[in-house]
Structure 1
């Protein structure tokens, strides 16, 4: 019921900009420019954990970008999924020049899953929704892509907020798995892990491990990743 009401209310009620509150627009031009007005770049957390895929990010996490992500994830502003998907698609494209040379088949956007209790509390799966929007944007601009939500948490994990980087890695170690039959689906294209935000990189490290375990030696090439935003230090210090 909660998810249904959010879907309907987003269509019939007046909305304000998710970034700055400008009335009668889900995303104003200024906040849209902050979200996807610049080229996506390589991102590395400090310190960078072992096993982290090559990550590209659309924008630094701050001000308008932070507000838009929180409005979508925590406040149910579902209309923001499309602009967030556009930003994520830009980050996916930024990782393509190197990855595409060995790629075969479509891009498979694999969202990093949230804990089940978080999805229930929010009424929607934010990363999955953005992955679907990004896949649609990539197809619209000529890149074969589809969302492939095959990852899931098979055991409970602690809330990551307040944990140090090593604690986050330990908390998530071995927590994700690929759903039955997912390994075979991963063989059909080039997997790109996607998420809305990267902080320490622990979630992407664990997600990459789970993909490699599921597909084994048949896995088609290295895992890459794309996210909407990262802390500014991860984004600005590694321009390329």
Structure 2
């Protein structure tokens, strides 16, 4: 685990570029250009997991970008949070301005709209009165956070929120997701194995549903490979918000009679599933696999 003295050393001692090793540069101009020198693109994993929201990435996970993400995540190069956060903010803006992430998200399988979420977004900024953009980071396992000394996705999300605010977009981080059970190490697992490993693994903390209704939700992470983590995060957020709204609506309609405990309508998976990623505006990541970029270009 990192100590405070290591964090201080990162700030005052000469550094090497995390991308190429060039001395006295946290991230040299060439590697920074590889990270955020081009416009963020929509990315799709193959196969695409069910319930995955529209995802935008700032860069392909290769070479200097891969080295920078690993340095931040595994070696605790915390000064990289700022450039990585700026890249993530660009992906968030792209997601919000994409027409597929508009006011009425589509149902699973390309069906019609199912629910209005928040307010329409124009030019990457919420329409007045729509509330701040809520960045919800995909959580790391508790053991991994302890071993690394920080939660990489949350740290980058905080930097991205600051970058968005500086550019005029109201945004804040709402870290309401947590792992409800232990999961196996994802490295070495295929797409189907990752889906099975993460199925039902995330949940929203108590009181989180109220926070999630303050504005449009954007799921964020540092990296997307198979999309399993983002798909599970979307399920957890959507089902929680829907159940909360269903309880409120049922309570309003049945205010004159006591609620029947155990009524299956409050937990019916088919009702929550009907909304799929309906309460999630979109998702954004710093990097995704190069193949995911190629699929969207084609």
Deviation string 1:130-177 (CA, Å, 9 cap, x unpaired) is: 000000000000100011111000110000111111110000000100
Gapped regions of structure 2 (runs ≥ 5): 104-118, 121-129, 246-274
What is the match of residue 40 of structure 1? 40
* Matching of residues 1-240 of structure 1 within 5 Å: 2-97=2-97, 98=99, 99=101, 101=103, 102-103=119-120, 104-216=130-242, 218=245, 221-239=279-297
Paired with 2:92 and 2:56, the residues of 1 have a C-alpha distance of 7
**What is the CA-CA distance between 1:11 and the residue it aligns to?**
1.3
**What is the CA-CA distance between 1:236 and the residue it aligns to?**
2.5
CA contact (8 A) 1:151 1:207 kept: yes
Q: 1:207 to 1:221 in 2, by over 3 A?
A: closer
Deviation string 1:28-72 (CA, Å, 9 cap, x unpaired) is: 000000000000000000111111110000001000000000010
Deviation string 1:181-221 (CA, Å, 9 cap, x unpaired) is: 11100000011000000000000010000001221164974
CA contact (8 A) 2:237 2:279 kept: no
**Bigger mean CA offset, 98-107 vs 195-204:** 98-107
Gapped regions of structure 1 (runs ≥ 5): none
Return the index of the structure with the highest Cα Rg.
2
CA contact (8 A) 2:102 2:281 kept: no
- In the alignment of these two chains, the number of paired residues is 240
**What is the CA-CA distance between 1:3 and the residue it aligns to?**
4.2
Corresponding residue SS for 2:296: coil
Paired with 2:157 and 2:58, the residues of 1 have a C-alpha distance of 14
Paired with 1:177 and 1:187, the residues of 2 have a C-alpha distance of 16
CA contact (8 A) 1:153 1:175 kept: yes
Structure-1-length-normalised TM-score = 0.96
**What is the CA-CA distance between 1:10 and the residue it aligns to?**
1.2
Q: 1:93 to 1:239 in 2, by over 3 A?
A: farther
Corresponding residue SS for 1:95: helix
Structure-2-length-normalised TM-score = 0.78
**What is the CA-CA distance between 1:100 and the residue it aligns to?**
5.5
CA contact (8 A) 1:208 1:223 kept: no
